[in-house]
Amino acid sequence: MAINRAQLAKELEPGLNALFGMEYSRYENEHAEIFDQETSDRAFEEEVMLVGFGEAAVKQEGSAVQFDTAQESFTARYSHETVALAFSLTEEAVEDNLYDTLSARYTKSLARSMAYTKQVKAANILNNAFATAGGDGVSLVNTAHPTALGGTFSNRNATDADLNETSLEQAMIDIAGFIDERGLKVAMQGRKLIIPVNIQFVADRILNSTLRVGTADNDINAMRNMGMLPDGYTINHYLSDTDAYFIKTDAPNGFKHFVRAALATGMEGDFDTGNMRYKARERYSFGFSDPRCVYGSQGS
């Protein structure tokens, strides 16, 4: 249904001092702090986890060398969604409006809605990190990610804890102990802390204080002194759990944002009605391939 004069009654009368409600600033591109962006030219993208060789065996003198095999493990699929929104203005509403250009005002609102949706969809990867299964069959943050030989690894606290010095130090230790699909240790470290706005002050004190937080001892802040989390912390205003936090690691092929079709806008007039129609559309997907890209806790 087109926006008509009845919906814009006050804008057709003289004496109106201001129009307000669509001038607010917005939290933009927070997804870029988490996801690596790539382009796509197909309906979906798949990424396959490869399984390499295990630990080498000792070869006894005169005996045959031991052979090992390699294989594929799980597949992560990124299915692109089409996100679109449109509005229409009657010819009379455009003609009789006294205060500004209707199309300019509402196309800005259209862009705001498209941008907001993208941030929500990106944040939902973390909002659902403890529930929605990934390519390996378990949730993104889980205590029992299966590996190729039947073992498991964990990328969350055994007992969920709020963000504090102790829980963050344990997370750094756990990340350093990550293993690959054959059980070999991999050199990984936490790069960035991802938090909701509710615990931003806690994060800043833990990472940026010169001395230890909440103690009278004259101890150094080990996290800061050792250069842990070199990319600091980032606040994501679209995270729904007020005490959950996540640590993005330096694992390759982790969080991905595929762009299938960039944001495009269009307008056209309808000959019969004279209405002007405006549309915005884009196609993309958010997801993850290797769950080693993150470590998380739901808070206590």
> Tens digit of pLDDT for each residue in 10-21?
455 554 444 455
* Dihedral pair phi/psi, residue 42, rounded to 5°: -140, 175
Q: What Å distances lie between residue 74 and 78, 80, 155, 238, CA to CA?
A: 13, 20, 17, 29
Average pLDDT over residues 216-226: 90
How much is the average pLDDT of 52-71?
Answer: 94
* Segments making up each domain of the chain, as ranges: 77-297
Looking at the DSSP bridge assignments, the partners of residue 245 are 297
pLDDT surpassing 80 at residue 126: yes
**Whole-angstrom Cα distance, residue 11 to residue 159?**
58
Indicate whether 4 pLDDT > 60.
no
Residue 54: half-sphere exposure toward Cβ, Cα within 13 Å: 12
Tell me the pTM.
0.90
What CA–CA distance (Å, rounded) separates 266 from 10? 28
Q: What is the pLDDT of residue 8?
A: 53
- Greater confidence (8 vs 278) lies with 278
Convert the pLDDT of each residue in 223-233 to its tens digit. 999 999 999 99
157 Cα distance to chain centroid = 20
Percentage of the chain beyond pLDDT 90 is 72
Element (H, E) at 246: strand 245-249
Question: What would the pLDDT profile of 232-287 be if each residue is shown by its tens digit?
Answer: 999 999 999 999 999 999 999 999 999 999 999 998 988 888 888 889 999 999 99
